[in-house]
Amino acid sequence: MSTDTPDDPDSTASTNDQRARQQLLELAAQFYDQFADGDVPSMSVPTRSKSNIEYDPEKGVWVLGDRNTTRSANSVGGAQKLLKAIYVIEFLADQLDQDRSSTLRELYYLSESWDLDAAQFNSQDESNQLVEDLEIVADVTREDFHMRPEESGATVIGPLFLREQTRRGEREIHCQEDVGEGGYQIPNNPDTIEFLDHDAEFVLAVETGGMRDRLVENGFDEDRDAIVVHLKGQPARATRRITKRLHDELDLPVVVFTDGDPWSYRIYGSVAYGSIKSAHLSEYLATPQADFVGIQPEDIVEYDLPTDPLSDSDVNALESELEDPRFQSEYWTEQIELQLDIGKKAEQQALASRGLDFVTDTYLPERLDAMGVL
């Protein structure tokens, strides 16, 4: 039993808000100064094309490279981009001031209410990209701007006691004793959570709902002192963030349990190394210490699991993973080559072919023991 005690989350949250607001206003002030000095206003942002995203072997995550793109008012297109940025900065600063929040989609629609037609967005891609630009330039996260994702629905169950700062006041919740079988719903911004106490030995992040429910029914979280995080397929930012915080703040090993196919290895990759799309946030979202439990291609052979044949797109995805810097270890090369060789893939729930308790009585204990987690 151990616990980390960060500062009072209330003051932390508002400090974050103040800092985010301040950074935005400084950006606006920069445009003002450029005008005042007779310069053409401009804003420089790191280029976010694939060619400017690098794998940092030391940190073990994706990071942005050194190249920058300048948005300058010396063209009509550039001037419009800056105009839209200023409208968004004003909207976000007000939102933070009023302690409100909104979704990316609402921001896109809200622009229709702006008085200047030229400031309105033509597509949600455009407004999403501008918010990402502002994240990078202001060096804060979208969550700090109080921008919410559409939804995620991911959950946590396990021996974890936490306090969530909600708009309706604080809620103290034990993620086994105070929740139903569905577990604790991860909020859009998990930085509103403070971890109060726990009895956990490790964090088990699970891809599918069927397997998450199996582990809960079999009492795996209780018997093995595991915090079970349901990834729900490719995990949302909030899910990756809470996983990282469980690792960093509670010093818990994190293991990732997915189907045995190339798309699921990418799910593991996004938990561990970050994604190309959010490379500017890898240090906020990625858990490079996270390990892969399986389903490993060698498990398909060893446990004689029911399989499906690899499709052409599976084979292509595996071959591109062989080139992917995140999978350049001996372990992954072996596993991926084995899978290409046997030409098969298997789902987590295929373990049920050995009985409903096989995953919790045999498979996970064997794998976690081999990995040094149990």
Chain residues in the site for a second copy (CB under 8 A): 100-103, 105-107, 109-110, 112-113, 148, 150-155, 164, 166-168, 171, 173, 176-188, 192, 208-210, 212-214, 217, 219, 222, 230, 232, 306, 347, 349-356
d(CA 326, CA 204): 21
Nearer to a second copy, 112 or 115 (CB): 112
d(CA 279, CA 124): 20
Nearer to a second copy, 48 or 148 (CB): 148
d(CA 232, CA 296): 19
Nearer to a second copy, 65 or 187 (CB): 187
User: Residue 76 corresponds to which tokens in the numbers above?
Assistant: 């009509």
Nearer to a second copy, 173 or 267 (CB): 173
Smallest separation, CB 353 to a second copy (Å): 4
Q: How would DSSP label each residue in 95-155?
A: HHHTT--EEHHHHHHHGGGSS-GGGS-SSHHHHHHHHHHHHHHHTS-GGGGTEE-S----E
Residue pair 107/131 in contact by the 8 Å Cβ criterion: yes
Residue 109 annotated as catalytic: yes
Smallest separation, CB 216 to a second copy (Å): 8
Give residue for tokens 């995953």: 359
Smallest separation, CB 150 to a second copy (Å): 5
Smallest separation, CB 149 to a second copy (Å): 8
Cα→Cα distances 199→21, 123, 241, 338, Å: 37, 47, 20, 38
User: Residue 310 corresponds to which tokens in the numbers above?
Assistant: 């690899």
**In the beta sheet, which residues pair with residue 156?**
184, 229
Smallest separation, CB 83 to a second copy (Å): 19
d(CA 221, CA 179): 14
Smallest separation, CB 192 to a second copy (Å): 8
Nearer to a second copy, 127 or 287 (CB): 127
Nearer to a second copy, 320 or 353 (CB): 353
Cα→Cα distances 2→61, 151, 171, Å: 28, 32, 20
From the list 32, 109, 265, 268, the catalytic residue is: 109
**In the beta sheet, which residues pair with residue 226?**
202
| Residues taking part in catalysis | 109
